[in-house]
Amino acid sequence: MLQDQITQYTEEINAFSTSNAAELEQFRIRFLGTKGIIKDIFDEFKAVSPEEKRTLGKVLNQFKQLAEAKYQTLNDTISASQDTADSNQFDLTLPGEGFELGTRHPLAIVRREIIEIFNKLGFSVAEGPEIEDDWHNFSALNFPEEHPARDMQDTFFIKKGGEKGDIALRTHTSSVQVRMMEAGQPPFRALMPGRVYRNEAISARAHCFFHQVEGLYVDEKVSFADLKQTLFYFVQELYGEGTKVRFRPSYFPFTEPSAEMDISCSICKGAGCQMCKGSGWVEILGCGMVDPNVLENCGIDSKKYSGFAFGMGIERIANLKFEIKDLRLFSENDVRFLKQYQSATI
């Protein structure tokens, strides 16, 4: 009786196959569940005679193993195919999300370009602190006590008086020239790029900070001719060959003689436009021969050595290239503005 049932169920199990998890679960409940067929058969088995038990016991165990093995195999196949189905949900051939590339700030582009040109002439780069004492920003540079640049109008003072005198935000990077000369002996040939501060109302044409590149060359027998040739070369490299230059006499406390240098307007090529106010010329930098007093203040023998210095505003140079009408754009960090200079060279 029991033997017949087992034979019948064995056939059923052997014939069973599915790739469906729900169907397999049905199979498990039907045969292997706590109220399933195998449980029933084992219950019935308890009632058979001891002689029968001997043969039937073995058959029964084989039958149970068969059901379990069937379930195990089908379950393995189904979960394996489930894993591949899950990973197939991602289309690995789709292009990924791109990273947005950052761009260089227009002022950084111009600063790099200026530095590269002077590098070719053997100028290195020197940096110094933005918070300066009176000595490095003014006194060593030959500013008289009552010079208007020391006035509150122009300088952001942090601390008045004290052992080292006033402490202020540097108004130019000439302070780095002083630090360099104090620290060593000529020859010096270096550029001083950096941010400087002046107490001005913020408008399209003025800001309370801007960026400079100053330069210093001190050695034996440095002349005004060297100054002119160096700056002439710089301008040809920066704005292209054929750019004209002119020097106008000027005044700075730390240079004597002093000059301002104009170039033929890079925008209208000298014909006259809004940028050059119709004159065909634009001023780009101040320069001069380092005043002997400054050399002496820094511990350099002014009878043996002479030198020239120059200073320019990076914003001004960038304006002449990119025709940016409002200085404030440089510091507002509007990416729509900044992105325009992605591939710019001056």
Binding site for ligand PHE (CB under 6 A): 172, 174, 214, 252, 255, 286-288, 309-311
Between 170 and 321, name the residue whose CB sits nearer to ligand PHE: 170
The rounded distance, in Å, linking the Cα atoms of 182 and 149 is 23
Q: Least distance in Å: CB of 204 to ligand PHE?
A: 20
Question: Nearest approach, Cβ of 158 to ligand PHE (angstroms)?
Answer: 19
**Cβ 212 vs Cβ 312: under 8 Å:** yes
Checking DSSP bridges between strand 281-290 and strand 188-197, what pairing results, if any?
A: unpaired
- Taking the C-alpha atoms of residue 49 and residue 55, their distance in angstroms, rounded to an integer, is 11
State both tokens at 176: 């780095």
Can the peptide bond before residue 257 be classed as cis, meaning omega within 30 degrees of 0?
A: yes
Minimum CB–partner distance for residue 321 and ligand PHE (Å): 20
Smallest separation, CB 312 to ligand PHE (Å): 8
**β-pairing, 255-264 with 281-290?**
antiparallel
CB of 250 to ligand PHE, least distance (A): 8
Q: Give me the amino acid identity at 14.
A: N
Shorter beta-carbon distance to ligand PHE: residue 74 or 311: 311
Task: Compare residues 243 and 255 and give the one whose CB is closer to ligand PHE.
Answer: 255
Query: Within a 13 Å sphere around the CA of 49, how many CA atoms are in the beta-carbon half?
Result: 3
Of 6 and 117, the one with the shorter C-beta distance to ligand PHE is 117
Least distance from ligand PHE to the Cβ atom of residue 226, Å: 14
Nearer to ligand PHE, 132 or 214 (CB): 214
Nearer to ligand PHE, 24 or 230 (CB): 230
Long-range contacts of 315-319 (CB under 8 A, 24+ apart): 315/107, 315/207, 315/210, 315/211, 316/284, 317/110, 317/114, 317/238, 317/284, 317/346, 318/106, 318/107, 318/109, 318/110, 318/346, 319/275
